[in-house]
Chains A and B, each alone.
Chain A
């Protein structure tokens, strides 16, 4: 088959499974991140700091493995751009981390959070203005707030950061086309979504700050989440697949029990997320719930969403329970433990894949993947075992 023919077959297979139907065989869609650097024999620093190296490593993996879909830039942070803006919250491989350690997030202690507890009204009144004029100068070594002296570093950070982001997104579009033309592989997702409450913890107040606020000023947290909603919706929509084939990725962080209470989930997290997902679905876009960690407590709540509107990805959750609770409404992906890929043997990987396929994939609606993004700890022979076994045993 030509790459174009392969692409069409794989796209049909993947989309059929996304719609919770039965394709010709189980699609394989590993979210390979630093694994691609390991496989291509390049350092993590090279792949993270020079996106061209990461893109080429991704293409090489897509050519060599019989995967239906991949995320083109699962090493999703180009640290060259991060350095240009001077973002303080990253550990960059090769700069302030050893060259073969994946990039890290550094969350400041609560008293040094990037957003102060008395700044909710500013954020609520105009989130974009707050981000540009208060938050960005705090998270950047270079960007100055209004009223401060403009410096050479300030001007350069904004110019370089803006231009570099355009360069990166343009290159990403080219990679999607290259994956199709050279490898016949589908870009697995398009666009991104995060929950308002997660954003407050991730980048603004920090997790500890958010949890304090949920008790000290819950009405402000709710209002802030509501103020973020239209922007998060627009970012998700603008990045979505215009063909409406592949889903928008929704990266789920610390919005679940036990990170927050059931009450906070019910009163704040869910009411400020659900309308976004419903509106995207009304416009024909599925959302991939990338449920990092364990979100089993909330499975019944997720059933409130329209059938087919989401694809549910399992990390540490119980994939067999997920299938029992959600399988009649949504397709499921993942569930293969990452520690098995890192520490297990190919035989153990094959046995686990068989368990999943036997229990979850019999009626279609399942996409093979690890639980979390696949980093450089995964053994190449184990990723190969996952791929080959699924191809062999996953035929319908």
Chain B
């Protein structure tokens, strides 16, 4: 998997959360929004620092 803005996509991470009782889309959305920060970190280490 390789997608800008994400280090570990929800498809890969959901094995740690086998049961989602509510709306999985919300969980996926927030998971991947927070994924942005480590992605930003590693690419800025490469490019800016």
Residues of A within 8 A of B (CB): 76-78, 81-82, 85, 87, 125-129, 131-132, 135-136, 139, 161-162, 165-166, 192, 194, 199, 203, 227, 230-235, 238
Say yes or no: A136-B45 contact (C-beta < 8 A), given A126-B2, A128-B7. Answer: yes
Say yes or no: A87-B4 contact (C-beta < 8 A), given A165-B44, A231-B43, A235-B44. Answer: no
Question: Within 8 Å CB of A78, what residues of B?
Answer: 49
B34 to chain A, nearest CB (A): 12
Question: Within 8 Å CB of B48, what residues of A?
Answer: 76-77, 192
| A139–B44 CA distance with the chains assembled, in angstroms | 14
Q: Is the CB of B42 within 8 A of A132?
A: yes
Q: Is the CB of B44 within 8 A of A136?
A: no
Q: Is the CB of B39 within 8 A of A77?
A: no
List which B1-49 residues lie within 8 A (CB) of chain A: 1-2, 4-7, 37-49
Q: Can you sample 7 A-B contacts with CB below 8 Å?
A: A131-B42, A131-B43, A136-B42, A203-B46, A231-B4, A231-B43, A235-B44
Q: Is the CB of B4 within 8 A of A77?
A: no
Question: Within 8 Å CB of A136, what residues of B?
Answer: 42, 45
Q: Is the CB of B45 within 8 A of A128?
A: no
Question: Within 8 Å CB of B40, what residues of A?
Answer: 165, 235, 238
Residues of B within 8 A of A (CB): 1-2, 4-7, 37-49
New contact pairs (16) apart from A126-B1, A129-B2, A192-B47, CB-CB < 8 Å: A76-B48, A77-B48, A77-B49, A128-B39, A128-B42, A131-B45, A131-B46, A132-B42, A135-B46, A165-B41, A166-B37, A203-B46, A231-B4, A234-B4, A235-B43, A238-B40
| A153–B5 CA distance with the chains assembled, in angstroms | 26
| A192–B46 CA distance with the chains assembled, in angstroms | 12
| A290–B42 CA distance with the chains assembled, in angstroms | 24
Question: Within 8 Å CB of B5, what residues of A?
Answer: 234
| A128–B6 CA distance with the chains assembled, in angstroms | 8
Question: Within 8 Å CB of B43, what residues of A?
Answer: 128, 131, 231, 235
Contact pick for B49, options A87, A126, A199, A233, CB 8 Å: A87
| A81–B1 CA distance with the chains assembled, in angstroms | 29
Q: Is the CB of B41 within 8 A of A127?
A: no
A29 to chain B, nearest CB (A): 21
A370 to chain B, nearest CB (A): 22
Question: Within 8 Å CB of A230, what residues of B?
Answer: 4
| A135–B7 CA distance with the chains assembled, in angstroms | 14
Say yes or no: A132-B38 contact (C-beta < 8 A), given A165-B44, A230-B4, A235-B44. Answer: yes
